[in-house]
Amino acid sequence: MKHTQKKNINSISNKANMPTVKVKYSIGLTLLLIFSLQLNAQKDRKLTFVGGARSILNNGRLIVNDSIPDTTTVKRNEGGYALIDLGVNIKPNKNTEIMGMFRIKNNFGGFWGSGVSFDVRQLWIKGIVGNVLRYQLGDLNLKQSKFTLYNHHADQIDSLPAIFNLQQNIVNYERFYMNNNTWRMQGANVDFGLTFSKFLKEINFTAFLTRLNATNFANVSDRLMNAYSVQLVKNNHLALTGHTNTIFDVNGTTNNKNLFNNSVNSIEWKYENKLKTDNAYSFAGEFGNSHYYYSADTLAPRLSDYFIHAFAQMKLKKMNLMATVGYLNVGADFRSIGAQSKDVNYNAQPVYFNRYTNTQVIRPTTLFDVISNENIYSRTINSNFMSGSQLFNNVLPYGLATFNRVGAYLKLNYKNKKELMANAEYYNLSEIRGQGTTALKQFAIYKVNVNVPFHKLFNLKRTLSIQAATNMQMANRKGNEAIEDVDLKMMQTTVGLRWEFSPNFELIGGMINQTNKGNDFSADRNAYTEVTYFQLNNYNLTQQITAVGLRYNFTPKIYLCALYQQSNYQDKKQNNANFKMNQFGLIYNIIL
């Protein structure tokens, strides 16, 4: 047996660290300037300055189509901000690294103190003890398994055209969604690995402790997350991982003796092998259970349930095809705050034209906000239950960790050497326990996503690619009484274009259309996540965003782009007044 060697801190796979410069794109229809500094980038220097900067100018217009003309709302919005993230990376020795990053932000119109804010954007220390144990203190980007701690991004569109990705990537940077599916947390993380010559190939151990919320010294106790994972790698084919994740109130941090606890335990497995034909197959999955309770509240339920997720995957190399068939079973009382926290907070108000109509009602959260509004996104997990939106994901609002779902899914992924890509997904799910009735809802998701790189298919010199996708969700219930019936459909279509019509000049464009039609019930839940009431929602809603832009690429990392975007919100049920938002902007983007 020997320790896994960690020769230098630079060799650490840095899952808890944010890259030095990650601003790859910026908001469409705004003027965006990004540049970054990386001084003394040589590996052996002890002091490195890292950072980035961004400037945004907004030019937007709101058009409200209400039964009573809206004479109250200010219809134009021009503004923006400039910010700089300046970080100092210190390596006092080869096994220690310290990072501190400050943000200076100035809203346009303010100067010398007015509108200027100073924040600490990130602060961490990491290193290696005895060439064996890696540790990190401070800011951490963490994930475990899909059922213990995972940012599912359940409501983000996973087939966004490139022009909308400009905006989505700003959200990702601002909310630290830098390493896929992680949550930004604060605490301490340690991990180490052991390798063996017999019986086992290696054992990897990871543990962390983070603080979710601080005590107010009166009635809100300190709430922590304590988790660890142990991975046993038998050989190149088989690996088993055990996860434990516990969120708990710390006794004694207040006089409140009613302490919350949510623990999730699971085992993940993966077996993969190759066939003689050069094809490969794998079986993988996870099963486990959860417990959710308050120690002294007699009104609070003690919820316990289990889940199973298993899938088989076949890679057919000659056909460039990968097929996956999976089974999902997540109990109605399965609760995992780490995996069931949502990135989109639908209770947050949009800051851009946040009120409208003569009565100044709050503008509903729309497709435009989900794509580009960083203010509705959460930085870290929420220690309370977060509700979802029936408009954006009614079937799996918490990703695979959505409770009360059982069923199967099928995925087909095709990608050839010329990067012609086609993906298809089908989910067929059902509730396990009825909601307000013994009748169960049935769910289905159909997804198709195609990317055609004509320039590679026909050996063109310049880029010409088209991307198209559709996502259809359905929820149905045939109730015992007609009032219990549910029939809700969501259809989302995206189309994107990227055409280099002259050397380094690109035309980029995209369109997203989403319709929600039908009825469904949404559950009101109390603080213990119990259903207390149902609201009947009727939808006949169409949302559309169209964007077109011209981009000049100075280098692969420097470009200038002009964009125009229109978004349209039409609610035929008149639950909310119809409106349009038009925006124009310029993007200047540099990554050093």
DSSP string spanning 373-414? Answer: -GGGB-SS--SS-----TTT-SS-EEEET-SSEEEEEEEEEE
Segment near another protein (CB under 8 A); pick from 184-192, 258-266, 305-313, 353-361: 305-313
CB of 483 to another protein, least distance (A): 5
564 pairs with which residues across the strands?
Answer: 548, 584
User: Among residues 321 and 466, whose Cβ is nearest to another protein?
Assistant: 321
Read off the tokens for 202: 């290696």
Residue 105: which of 143, 138, 79, 69 has the closest Cα?
A: 79
3-state class of 288 per DSSP?
Answer: strand
Which helix (H) or strand (E) is 169 found in, with range? Answer: helix 162-174
Helices (H), 89-188: 162-174
Does 483 sit near another protein (CB under 8 A)?
yes
Segment near another protein (CB under 8 A); pick from 15-23, 39-47, 441-449, 474-482: 474-482
User: Among residues 120 and 483, whose Cβ is nearest to another protein?
Assistant: 483
What are the C-alpha distances in Å from 173 to residues 20, 23, 41, 183, 344? Answer: 11, 7, 22, 12, 15
Does 216 sit near another protein (CB under 8 A)?
no
Residues 6+ apart with CB under 8 A from 484: 436, 437, 439, 477
**From CA 527, how far away is CA 533, in angstroms rounded?**
13
User: Among residues 158 and 524, whose Cβ is nearest to another protein?
Assistant: 524
Q: How many CB atoms lie within 10 A of CB 550?
A: 16
User: Among residues 76 and 525, whose Cβ is nearest to another protein?
Assistant: 525
- Decide if 399 contacts 154 (C-beta within 8 A): yes
CB of 473 to another protein, least distance (A): 21
Rounded to 5°, angle at Cα 205 from 203 and 207: 170
In the list 434, 476, 540, 582, the residue contacting another protein (rule: CB under 8 A) is: 434
CB of 243 to another protein, least distance (A): 18
Segment near another protein (CB under 8 A); pick from 225-233, 307-315, 498-506, 582-590: 307-315
- Decide if 279 contacts 314 (C-beta within 8 A): yes
Does 433 sit near another protein (CB under 8 A)?
yes
Binding mask 259-288 for another protein (x = CB under 8 A): ------------x-x-x-----x-x-x---
**From CA 397, how far away is CA 399, in angstroms rounded?**
6
In the list 42, 93, 532, 555, the residue contacting another protein (rule: CB under 8 A) is: 532
The amino acid sitting at 208 is F
Does 523 sit near another protein (CB under 8 A)?
yes
User: Among residues 283 and 499, whose Cβ is nearest to another protein?
Assistant: 283
DSSP string spanning 531-547? Answer: EEEEEEEEEEEEEEEEE
In the list 210, 336, 393, 435, the residue contacting another protein (rule: CB under 8 A) is: 435
User: Among residues 97 and 484, whose Cβ is nearest to another protein?
Assistant: 484
Does 293 sit near another protein (CB under 8 A)?
no
Does 102 sit near another protein (CB under 8 A)?
no
Binding mask 397-426 for another protein (x = CB under 8 A): -------x-x-x------------------
Residues 326-345 that bind another protein (CB under 8 A): 327, 329, 331-332
Residue 591: which of 20, 172, 121, 15 has the closest Cα?
A: 20
Q: How many CB atoms lie within 10 A of CB 201?
A: 16
User: Among residues 145 and 565, whose Cβ is nearest to another protein?
Assistant: 145
Binding residues for another protein, how many (CB under 8 A)? Answer: 40
CB of 405 to another protein, least distance (A): 11
103 pairs with which residues across the strands?
Answer: 85, 119
User: Among residues 331 and 364, whose Cβ is nearest to another protein?
Assistant: 331
Does 554 sit near another protein (CB under 8 A)?
no
Q: If you count them, how many residues does the chain have?
A: 592
- The position carrying tokens 């010409």 is 464
Binding mask 9-48 for another protein (x = CB under 8 A): ----------------------------------------
In the list 176, 356, 521, 559, the residue contacting another protein (rule: CB under 8 A) is: 521
CB of 526 to another protein, least distance (A): 10
- The position carrying tokens 């004509």 is 454
Does 480 sit near another protein (CB under 8 A)?
yes
**From CA 210, how far away is CA 55, in angstroms rounded?**
33
Does 527 sit near another protein (CB under 8 A)?
no
3-state class of 234 per DSSP?
Answer: coil
Does 312 sit near another protein (CB under 8 A)?
yes
Which helix (H) or strand (E) is 173 found in, with range? Answer: helix 162-174
CB of 481 to another protein, least distance (A): 5
Query: For binding to another protein (CB under 8 A), which residues are involved?
Result: 218, 255, 271, 273, 275, 281, 283, 285, 308, 310, 312, 327, 329, 331-332, 404, 406, 408, 430, 432-438, 440, 479-481, 483-484, 521, 523, 530-534, 536
